[in-house]
Amino acid sequence: MSNTYPSDDPNINREDQKAARAVQSLTLPTLTPESVKRIERQALDRLRKKKQRAFQFPQFHSFPRLAVALSIVIALVLATSGTVAASAGSLPGEPLYAVKRLGEQIELNFAPADQQAMIHAAHAETRLSEIEKLAAKGVVLPGLLVEMQAETQAAVSGAKTLPAKQQTGVLSAIVILTNKQETALAKIQTQLPSTHASQSALSNAQSNSTAQRQEIIVYAEKLSIPLTAQNTPTATATKQPAILTATFTAQPTATQPTLTPTLIETQTATATQQPTATPRPPTQTAVIVSTQQSNQVVATATSPAATNTPPG
């Protein structure tokens, strides 16, 4: 770009060119790349949530009270009739699937704010389970992959807004979840013909899972959140461990009517605590235990941040 305004611009009178040049000569205020990225993330996050809501449930922005009232009525009707329980194992395309999704939305609507991230993670786990079941029949729904990623991203975003004390468990769970997504999607890819139309969508979904996990890891490192989901094989007991156990099960069966994630925080005061004259810095280690049985994922992390350990 030239620094001075072209003097031969026919659209500028000669008398106006001095002012035009003056304006053009100014170095303009510009958003930093970091700020551009930050706002972009906020906007895309909003877009993602909007799409998710649109898919799952009718919009009631103008009638929030109506939405709540309807949710209560529908929840009561469905719960008493056992429809939600019966719909738990349903898959996209089946008659009760809409009921299942409605149940999820109601669950989300009524959950306290600090549990929303974990519920999103549980819903992402449910989507993964559905993807695996459909893949076993040779069917891959790209929309379901997108929804799984959207739920995961909502969990990531939600986890970042949690109080520090709760973050370790939820972030650990999401790391495990994204690991599991990658493994499952890679397996599905190998089961399908290499020319299958959904191979590309599966690859993209895998990449997104990796990116979401990386986002969590970077975030945890930046804020010194004691989370190591990077396959740390051992854990060192701290002086006063607080064990955060995040468990969510997402294997819809007829006998498992709800998909309620639980975040159990157990603070164990040990009798073996031995104060020493020279306080040691907290050991920031954690162990992630992932059991593949019954699709159950257990994240266990020691959290020195939750202890009263003096800073080193």
Partner 1 sequence: MIFQQSDPPSPLTLATEKKLVAQSQQGDQDAFTALYRNYVQAIYRYCFFRVQDPDHAEDLTADVFLKAVDGLSRYNERGLPFGAWLFRIAHDRVVDFYRKAGRRPVVELTDDFVSDDLSPDVSIEITESRERLYEAISHPTDEQQAVIQFRFMENWSLEDTGRMMNKSANAIKALQHRALQSLQRYISQQNLGGSDANP
- Taking CB under 8 A as the binding criterion, the range among 24-32, 96-104, 186-194, 285-293 that sits at the site for partner 1 is 24-32
> At its nearest, how many Å lie between partner 1 and the CB of residue 260?
27
Rule CB under 8 A: is residue 62 a binding residue for partner 1? no
> At its nearest, how many Å lie between partner 1 and the CB of residue 58?
13
Q: Which of 13, 194, 234, 268 binds partner 1 (CB under 8 A)?
A: 13
Q: Where are the beta strands (DSSP E) in 84-211?
A: none
- Taking CB under 8 A as the binding criterion, the range among 48-56, 244-252, 256-264, 296-304 that sits at the site for partner 1 is 48-56
- Taking CB under 8 A as the binding criterion, the range among 32-40, 182-190, 229-237, 245-253 that sits at the site for partner 1 is 32-40
Rule CB under 8 A: is residue 8 a binding residue for partner 1? no
Distance CA 89, CA 86 (A): 7
| HSE-up (13 A, CA, CB side) for residue 295 | 19
- Taking CB under 8 A as the binding criterion, the range among 9-17, 96-104, 164-172, 242-250 that sits at the site for partner 1 is 9-17
Rule CB under 8 A: is residue 46 a binding residue for partner 1? yes
Nearest residue to 128 (alpha-carbon basis) of 45, 26, 208, 24: 208
Q: Which helix (H) or strand (E) holds 46?
A: helix 33-56
Rule CB under 8 A: is residue 43 a binding residue for partner 1? yes
> At its nearest, how many Å lie between partner 1 and the CB of residue 92?
17
Given a contact cutoff of 8 angstroms between Cβ atoms, the answer to whether 236 and 285 are in contact is yes
Distance CA 155, CA 174 (A): 7
| HSE-up (13 A, CA, CB side) for residue 245 | 9
Closer CB to partner 1, 35 or 224, in the complex: 35
Closer CB to partner 1, 9 or 221, in the complex: 9
> At its nearest, how many Å lie between partner 1 and the CB of residue 26?
6
> At its nearest, how many Å lie between partner 1 and the CB of residue 173?
24
> At its nearest, how many Å lie between partner 1 and the CB of residue 130?
19
Rule CB under 8 A: is residue 27 a binding residue for partner 1? yes
Count of residues touching partner 1 (by CB under 8 A): 38
Residue 56 CB contacts under 8 Å (≥ 6 apart), including other chains: 101, 102, 104, 105
Distance CA 305, CA 20 (A): 58
Distance CA 9, CA 138 (A): 64
Q: Which helix (H) or strand (E) holds 297?
A: strand 296-302
Residue type, 73: V
Q: What's the N-to-C CA distance of the chain in angstroms? A: 54
Kindly report the number of other CB atoms within 10 A of residue 310's CB atom. 10
> At its nearest, how many Å lie between partner 1 and the CB of residue 28?
5
Nearest residue to 169 (alpha-carbon basis) of 233, 255, 229, 80: 229
Q: Which of 8, 14, 18, 95 binds partner 1 (CB under 8 A)?
A: 18
Interacting residues with partner 1 (CB under 8 A): 1, 3-5, 11-13, 15-16, 18-32, 35-36, 38-40, 42-44, 46-48, 50-51, 54
